[in-house]
C-alpha cells in the first residue's frame, strides 16, 4: 500500500508545532475507568480509545505500518457529535476506534456552568506496525517516520492543548522493537 509521505510529514509537523500554543477554551475531562480485575489500574483516554484493537493486529503478519488521526468533538452535553479520520488504517480498526470514541458518552466531567452549545475538539493518533522484519525500503521509511514521531512525542505531556484542540498521547500497537 502506498502512503503519502508529504501529507503524513505535514500533519505531524502541524501537530508538533501546534502544541507550542495553548488553547483558552472550554474543556471537558475524561473520567478514567477502572479495569477489572485490576482495581488499581485506570484506563486513560488513549487506552480507552484503543481498546479491543489488538486482535486485528494479532493476526497481521506483514510489513505494513498503519496510522490514523482521529479528530472528534465533545459537546456541552458530554456527547461526541463529530468524528473525522485521516490516515491508512484498515476499516476494522478505524470502525472499532470510532465505536470507542462514541462510547465515551457518560464518561466526561463537564465544568460547572457548561452550556449545551460548548464544544471541544480532541486529536488522537493511533499507530500500528506490522510484525515482519524483511520489509521494503518504503515500508521501512514509514516505520522510521512513525517511530521518530513516537519518540519525539514521548517527551510531551499526556494531553497537550493546542489552538485546534487537545492533542492526546498517541497510542502505538506492536512497536516492533526487533525491526
48 lies in a domain? no
**What are the pLDDT digits (tens) for 148-162?**
877 777 666 666 777
Distance in Å from the first CA to the final CA of the chain: 19
57 lies in a domain? no
Q: What is the largest CA-CA distance in the chain?
A: 56
**What are the pLDDT digits (tens) for 7-28?**
565 565 455 444 433 344 678 8
- pLDDT value at position 121? 94
Choose among 74, 80, 93: nearest CA to 28: 74
Assign 38 a pLDDT band (cuts: 50, 70, 90).
low
132 lies in a domain? yes
CA atoms within 13 A on the CB side of 150: 19
Q: How many domains does the chain have?
A: 1
74 lies in a domain? no
133 lies in a domain? yes
106 lies in a domain? no
Residue 87 has pLDDT above 80, yes or no: yes
120 lies in a domain? yes
| Cβ 28 vs Cβ 105: under 8 Å | no
Q: Using the CB atoms, write b or e for 66-93: b if 16+ within 10 Å.
A: bbbbbbbebbbebebeeeebebbbbeeb
145 lies in a domain? yes
pTM of the model: 0.74
Domain housing 136: 116-157
Amino acid at each position: 500500500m502506498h502512503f503519502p509521505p508529504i501529507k503524513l510529514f505535514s500533519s505531524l509537523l502541524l501537530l508538533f508545532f501546534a502544541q507550542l500554543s495553548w488553547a483558552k477554551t472550554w474543556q471537558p475531562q475524561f473520567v478514567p475507568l477502572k479495569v477489572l480485575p485490576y482495581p488499581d489500574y485506570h484506563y486513560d483516554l488513549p487506552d480507552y480509545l484503543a481498546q479491543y484493537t489488538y486482535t486485528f493486529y494479532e493476526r497481521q503478519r506483514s510489513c505494513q505500518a498503519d496510522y490514523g488521526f482521529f479528530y472528534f468533538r465533545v459537546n456541552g452535553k458530554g456527547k461526541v457529535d463529530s468524528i473525522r479520520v485521516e490516515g491508512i488504517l484498515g476499516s476494522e480498526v478505524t470502525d472499532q476506534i470510532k465505536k470507542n470514541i462514541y462510547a465515551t458518552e457518560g464518561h466526561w466531567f463537564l465544568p460547572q456552568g457548561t452550556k449545551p452549545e460548548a464544544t471541544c475538539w480532541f486529536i488522537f493518533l493511533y499507530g500500528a506496525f506490522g510484525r515482519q522484519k524483511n520489509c521494503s525500503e518504503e515500508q521501512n521509511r514509514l516505520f522510521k517516520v512513525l517511530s521518530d514521531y513516537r519518540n519525539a512525542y514521548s517527551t510531551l505531556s499526556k494531553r497537550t492543548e493546542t489552538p485546534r484542540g487537545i492533542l492526546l498521547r498517541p497510542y502505538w500497537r506492536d512497536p516492533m522493537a526487533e525491526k
